[in-house]
Amino acid sequence: MNDFAFLLSLTLKSSMAVLLAAQGEVLSERAGVINLGQEGMMLMGAFIGYLVGYLTGNAALAFAAAGLVGSLLALLHGFFAIRLGANQLLSGIALSILGAGLANFMGRGFIGKPGLRVGEWPIPVLSDLPMVGKAVFGQNALVYVAVLVTVAMWFALSRTRWGLTVRACGENPTAADAMGAPVIRTRFTAVALGGFLSGMAGAYLSLVFTPGWKEGISAGQGWIAVAIVIFSGWRPLGALAGSLFFGFLSALQFFSQATGNNVVPLYILRILPYVLTILTLSFAAALGRRGRAPAGLGKPFFREH
Amino acid sequence: MSRRFLSVLCCLAILAVLPGTAMAAKLKVAFALVGTVNDQGWNYAHYVGIEKLKKQFGDQIEVSYTENVGAADAERVFRQYAQDGYKLIFGTTFEHMDPMLQVAKDFPDVSFEHCSGYKTAPNMGNYMARIEQGEYLVGYMAGLMGYTKVGTVATNPIPEPIRGINAFTHGLMRGLDESGTKYDPATLNTVVWLKSWRDPIGETAMSEALVQRGSTLIRQMADTPDASLAACAKGVPAIGYGADAVEFGAKCVLVSTIWNWGVYYEKAVKAKLDGTWKPQEWYAGFDQDALRLSAFNEKVPAPVREKVLAEMEKMKKGVDDSFLGPMTDQEGKVMIPAGQRATDKELYTMRWLSKGVNGKLPE
């Protein structure tokens, strides 16, 4: 594999966790619910995924369990944010803290125990292509899953009736309700599915990227996923681009050191993803992205009596 | 709340307080740790020392520790321990040094011990193990085995890892010379920096990147063994750091250096119990059992093991060649003249990289 192909491969590998989480957040926010609990759901997903993998040795089961725990946590957020109409930002941040604390607490006894390692899953023929074959088609299975999820998300949101309902609930829940759409149920479904993806994103880290359970394994990627959603203008394909950009920046800082050509100073490269996250979040309004945010985002819906 | 419930609660409260008063005569010893005790490296090694203390002194002492004490929390934690009657307090990471100095001023009757720093006070000493001795030995081993392309996943660019890298490279070149292996100093030991003591994602990615760039042996230096684990998964051997990485599943690890802090903890507690505690700058290696090597992997040939162990025996007797000149920096400037050894001061403040190291100190 030459350097370019390796950089490409590392970029893909580094972007998948944020990509999955970002797709989950896109879905949730398009339905009108901000979920800042990404970091907590990812950490719990990472731990449960690791745990089930460690106990059963079955990767599919591990990812399913991680997704389910992500859904459960998301439903908890949903209960406060949708059912009780609580402040979504506060409830989400509380979820991040809860998930991180719970995962660290339950995971204490498991640090250092080698778990399941999900390896590469090359696609026949395609992975033998020259240049980029191995880098793109010689990846682990989750990379393909994440890309499929992206396409499915794009299709579901923009081309299906269900997607239209989700968007209606996010833009104008009162109108959606008047048209007979089940606003509360749709929002709960979107939040739960989003949580499922975040849980899987966490499991990607603990089963594929750096197998094993460690405290704080997600290292802020949940927050980056939230920023990417804003950066992408709440679009699945935009989130793919944003995630790849994040992955490229992380890959570049590993790679430039290993090759010894520090074109950009290392300190700058290391903080770049976080700086860009902050900038995106701070200037989201000024950039004019706000116009594209679902109009009903963050507003609880109650049917008027 | 019923009256019976209240009375039970009172009894429980009294029971909880009683042992506390009874134990007032015990020496209370406290540790502040920068991570968690099961981090599989640095903090785990300190924890092993703490457990040894408990076993050794049993009822004579009461030991407490606090995890995840970063620079910002350190002063609060030390002060709390001092106020709660702890008489011997250990800070176990470099960043604990200045906060500890602050608290030490306010509690002259409490003894403070700081690991890996350089500041002392009338009631504050410091201690450190000469990890460079272990580094030199495992580098020597790698050289004897003919590894000419090593990738090092280094942590923070401060003197401790720097002297480790230099000693490793020094040993590596000696081993290569003795085994008659030709090598190019410009690409011998490629060093990349995590800028962190632990960062599992970075450790994994850097290790894989080094293997991809042609490294045939990975030198792990982080608190966690992920660099070694990643190397194993890519079919490349590794060397563990600070604790036996094989215990944590890195089966391809040829050998690990192991911190043995218990030796010093026993010494300090004993002195405090005897009333002879004095601040000192304790800086010991194999000579005082402050360091150990793990068992060798079966892939390490017997003659290599013998040579490495013979060198270790020399160190146990106090002959430390880990910084025996001539040693030059990357530009070829002589840093340690032939036949001389680096002084402790030079080791503590080392800011240059040896010939054979490929990589720069990030500024």
| pLDDT tens-place string over residues B223-246 | 788 999 999 999 999 999 988 999
Please list every residue in chain A whose beta carbon sits closer than 8 Å to the beta carbon of residue B226.
Answer: 210, 212, 214
Q: A266-283 vs A221-231: helix axis angle to the nearest 10?
A: 50
CB contact under 8 A, A114 and B40: no
CB contact under 8 A, A262 and B203: no
| Residue A110, min C-alpha distance to chain B (Å) | 9
Q: What is the mean pLDDT of chain A?
A: 87
Confidence of residue A218 (pLDDT cuts 50, 70, 90): confident
Tell whether the model's pLDDT for residue B158 goes beyond 60. yes
With an 8 Å Cβ cutoff, the interface of chain A facing chain B consists of: 1, 6, 10, 13-14, 108-109, 111-114, 117, 119, 205, 209-212, 214-215, 217, 219, 250-251, 254-255, 257-260, 262, 265-267, 270
Give the pLDDT score at B20: 45
Which of A254, A264, A269 should we substitute to test contact with B (largest number of B Cβ atoms within 10 Å)? A254
Confidence of residue B145 (pLDDT cuts 50, 70, 90): very high
CB contact under 8 A, B229 and A212: yes
Tell whether the model's pLDDT for residue A199 goes beyond 90. yes
CA distance B250 to B225: 7
CA distance A195 to A44: 11
Please list every residue in chain B whose beta carbon sits closer than 8 Å to the beta carbon of residue A270.
Answer: 195
| Residue A42, min C-alpha distance to chain B (Å) | 15
Which of B34, B37, B201 should we substitute to test contact with A (largest number of A Cβ atoms within 10 Å)? B201
CB contact B209 to A (< 8 Å): yes
Q: Residue A33: CB partners within 8 Å, gap ≥ 6?
A: A77, A78, A81, A82, A88, A187, A190, A191, A297, A298
Please list every residue in chain B whose beta carbon sits closer than 8 Å to the beta carbon of residue A111.
Answer: 36, 38-40
Q: Which two tokens stand for residue B125?
A: 């000493």
* Run of H or E residues at B255: strand B253-259
Lowest-confidence range among A295-304, B131-140, B150-159, B285-294? A295-304
C-alpha distances (whole Å) from B46 to each of B33, B81, B173 are 8, 18, 31
Give the pLDDT score at B36: 85
Lowest-confidence range among A117-131, A186-200, A276-290, B150-164? A276-290
Amino acid A56 reads: T
Higher pLDDT, B38 or A69: A69
Give the pLDDT score at B22: 44
Where b means 16+ CB within 10 Å and e means fewer, B23-32 reads eeebbbbbbb
CB contact under 8 A, B212 and A215: no
**How do the domains of chain A map onto residue ranges?**
3-292
Q: What is the mean pLDDT of residues B326-351?
A: 92
Choose among A184, A214, A196: nearest CA to A85.
A184
Q: Residue B120: CB partners within 8 Å, gap ≥ 6?
A: B126, B279, B281
The pLDDT > 90 percentage for chain A reads 54
Give the pLDDT score at A210: 86
DSSP three-state, residue B128: strand
- Quote the radius of gyration of chain A (alpha carbons, Å): 19
Q: What is the mean pLDDT of residues B248-252?
A: 90
Tell whether the model's pLDDT for residue B21 goes beyond 50. no
Residues 264-283 of B with CB under 8 A from A: none
Give the pLDDT score at A136: 81
Give the pLDDT score at B201: 85
CB contact under 8 A, A258 and B362: no
Estimate to the nearest angstrom the gap between the alpha carbon of B70 and the chain centroid: 17
Please list every residue in chain B whose beta carbon sits closer than 8 Å to the beta carbon of residue A259.
Answer: 213
Lowest-confidence range among A25-39, A198-212, A221-235? A221-235
Q: What is the mean pLDDT of chain B?
A: 91
Question: What DSSP state is assigned to residue B289?
Answer: T
| CATH entry 1.20.144 includes domain A3-292 | no
The pLDDT > 90 percentage for chain B reads 76
CB contact under 8 A, A257 and B206: yes
| pLDDT tens-place string over residues B204-224 | 989 998 998 899 999 999 978
Task: Give the ipTM of the model, two decimals please.
Answer: 0.77
CA distance B207 to B152: 8
Q: What pTM did the predictor assign?
A: 0.82
Cβ-contact A266, B361 below 8 angstroms: no
